[in-house]
Amino acid sequence: MMMDKTTIESTLYPDCPIRNILARISDKWSLLVIYTLDRSGKEKLRFKELQREIADISQKMLAATLRTLEEDGYVTRTVYPEVPPRVEYALTPRAKSLLPHINGLIEWAMENMDSIMEDRKRTVAKP
Quick one: which H or E segment has residue 36?
helix 30-39
Q: Whole-angstrom Cα distance, residue 79 to residue 89?
A: 9
Backbone angles phi, psi at 21, to 5 degrees: -70, -50
Q: Whole-angstrom Cα distance, residue 77 to residue 93?
A: 14
pLDDT digits (tens, 9 = 90+) for 66-120: 999 999 999 999 999 999 889 999 999 999 999 999 999 999 999 999 999 999 9
22, pLDDT greater than 90: no
Domain ranges within the chain, ordered by starting residue: 5-125
Q: Are 63 and 29 in contact (CB under 8 A)?
A: no
DSSP 3-state assignment of 6?
Answer: helix
Secondary-structure class of domain 5-125 per CATH:
mainly alpha
pLDDT digits (tens, 9 = 90+) for 25-74: 888 899 999 999 999 889 999 999 999 999 899 999 999 999 999 999 99
Quote the mean pLDDT of the chain.
88
Query: Could you give the angle at which helices 30-39 and 93-125 cross, rounded to 10 degrees?
Result: 120
